[in-house]
Amino acid sequence: MIEVSIPSLEKEVDESGKSRKLFRVEVLFNERKHYVLRRSSEFQSLHRKLKKIIQTPDFPSKRNPHLRTKPMEQRRQELEVYVQEVIYQNEDVPQILLDFLHLKHFHTGNRHSSFESLDELDSQDDNYQYLNQPVLRFFKDPYLSTCLPGLPDIVAEGVLQGFYPRDVRVSFTASALATPDHSSLHFTDVCGSAMWRKASAAVLLALAVGYFYSDRPEQVLQYIGLPVFRVAPGDGLEHAISAAWEALITLPSRQWSKVAVGVNACVDVVVSGVGLLQALAVDPGAGRDHEVLHSKEDLKEAFIHFMERGAAAERFFSNEEVFQRIARAAAEYPGAKLYVGGNAALIGQKLATYPELTVLLCGPVGPKLHELLDEQIHVPPESLQEMDEFHLILEYKAGERWGSSQAPQANRFIFSHDVSNGGMSSLETFVASLEEFQPELVVLSGLHMMEGQGRELWDGRLKQAVVALADIPKDIPIHLELASMTDKDFMNSIMQEQVMPIVSSIGLNEQELLFLSQAGGGPHAALPAWRGIPEVGQVSDILLWILERHGRVEPSSESELTRIHFHTLAYHVLATVDGYWENQAGAVMAGARVASSQACGLQAVDPSKVVLKAPLEFYSSHSEPRERLSLDPTEPVALWRRGNVTFHFTPVLVCKHPLRTVGLGDAISAEGLVYSELKIQQTF
């Protein structure tokens, strides 16, 4: 007989590097089992074809009315029921469905087997092949056998000799980054442990798998349970750091299962900045920053100002008519591309790449954005609107010239006339949805969009936002993602009176960090701007000041802030108050790894396409007393403490030829949060 189930989802990466989720359809026919992977759209196509020839069951809707149920999990269950109903409601199973299931030996007119045994089936079709073969047989129970004391070393050495040539250096490093001395364990120490003696049967099985899959040594050794990386002679620091990341980055023991994200979302129109301005008949000239853009001339000056610094920035364009003309020109510009935009939506997209994580997104979601969003993201009906909000992303490459201006590094300038996001219109919907959704983590972004509305509007709206956020239960941590701002009063309102005291974590880049210090009179506030790579000691000083002044460094403090994830082009720093967060070494490395891979448009870091720009030696502070620190590329996290604040530093392998810079900060923060664990004994 035939049985069909859809037990799980799998992720597939296509040639362009884009990942998508596929349903695993398992088919049991005549005691033989196989599976096929199908996209959601393929089920819809199947339904349309079946409707033409049979009476079909109702096809499941993509909309998930139940916030407590994972959207993709609910759809998996409904599609499974749909296929099963088609089979059992039709005496003659449609050939269209058989083709969909890759069944070529099914006799229509009878859903049950016409063969009495597998032998009879084999005699009818000698070409039918089993999809699995035995790898290893045990003739007596290995768990009851006496284990020879030397066996683990023999097995391990045999695996190494079989996998690696003699001129390759293999290093096994214990993940000991939680302790200051970064002590490492040699491979022989691991092999000699009691755990290995008790698990010799598992090692033998891994050895057998390694024999059959000798072209995949890393996967086999990870199966055995050892972190592994390989660095061949002559490989540079980029190879060492990349390999160490893969060996040392591990998910925390407790992971988030539900994350709510809000509240800015839009469609990004990405174009060449210089190319678009030339198409608008704008001539190059001197750069100048503008808090709000009113004309094409303001746009040109602000773009040049930040391009010359290689810095990211975002501004509000006040004139709707002029903005619409520019937006039309951008959409028609050759090579223009549409992407998911807005910090909240981008963070949600990144989180949705983890199949076990359910994401709620609240923001102004129009038809195009809804189409672009991952299917695993749930959008409440109240967040859907008829029109999309568009943001224009003007990108430039490292070394690109326009007139006398040259970009020192690749980056982008963002501007929009976005009223919905500017007023954070979805905030109340966001907070109201949390009671039913029951998230374990809340991610908030979009505050910077209010700045362009003028003080009278943002002052009142910010107070309303704080009142709304105060309704979020204290035991749910809130991460705030900051973005480019220019109004010091607005930043001070966020820091001192309003939002900063009620969030547990913040994410920001070098521009936002320095502006925050300038607005609040913090360390190094006299610096007009960073020149080149920010000095680690200065960054450390500002991070410590934020946590001491606005965080919960003192147990008696009423503030909730205990974590800051800082990122710049060359390196990242995670600063946390002791006693609140776990796995921060893994989190900071994971953020740096995704920055390296995503900028190059890859799923994994390619050492040949990246370059190390971070310093390998630096100071923990700009002034005395301070500690001189060195980075070991084979354990690429430097750790230091100042009072009861711990800092984790890791370099970024900078993409030589970045394909897209938009959303990197959001991906970094999202990845860092996925790999972070909140200590269970603390209450927020």
Catalytic residues: 666
Q: How many residues does the chain have?
A: 684
Whether the Cβ atoms of residue 615 and residue 585 lie closer than 8 Å to each other = no
Contacts of 583 (CB under 8 A, 6+ apart): 250, 251, 252, 675, 676, 677
How many angstroms separate the CA atoms of 575 and 584, rounded?
9
Q: Which of 435, 430, 499, 506 is nearest to 473 (CA)?
A: 435
The DSSP 8-state label assigned to residue 36 in this structure reads E
The H-or-E segment that residue 153 falls in is: helix 151-163
How many angstroms separate the CA atoms of 576 and 582, rounded?
10
Return the structure tokens found at 240. Answer: 């060492």
How many CA atoms does the CB half-sphere of 606 hold within 13 Å?
Answer: 13
Return the structure tokens found at 432. Answer: 């109201």
How many angstroms separate the CA atoms of 361 and 373, rounded?
10
Q: Which of 467, 449, 458 is nearest to 489 (CA)?
A: 458
Q: How far is CA 304 from CA 211, 413, 504, 510, in A?
A: 59, 9, 36, 19
Return the structure tokens found at 53. Answer: 């020839």
The amino acid sitting at 480 is L
Q: How far is CA 27 from CA 35, 58, 172, in A?
A: 6, 22, 41
How far does CA 633 lie from the centroid of its chain?
24
H runs (alpha helix) in 382-423: 419-422
Contacts 24+ apart (CB under 8 A), 459-467: 459/493, 461/423, 461/424, 462/490, 462/493, 462/494, 462/498, 462/499, 463/498, 464/427, 465/424, 465/427, 465/498, 465/499, 466/498, 466/499, 466/502
How many angstroms separate the CA atoms of 400 and 119, rounded?
70
For 8, other C-beta atoms within 10 Å of its C-beta total 13
296-307 helix and 320-332 helix, angle to the nearest 10 degrees: 60
Return the structure tokens found at 68. Answer: 């407590």
The H-or-E segment that residue 549 falls in is: helix 536-550
How many angstroms separate the CA atoms of 579 and 683, rounded?
11
Contacts of 165 (CB under 8 A, 6+ apart): none
For 514, other C-beta atoms within 10 Å of its C-beta total 22
**Which residues are registered as beta bridge partners of 640?**
647
Return the structure tokens found at 31. Answer: 């005691």
Listing DSSP states for 62-128 in one string gives S----TTS-HHHHHHHHHHHHHHHHHHT-SS--HHHHHHTT--S--TT-SS-S-SSHHHHHHH-TT-
How many angstroms separate the CA atoms of 424 and 470, rounded?
16
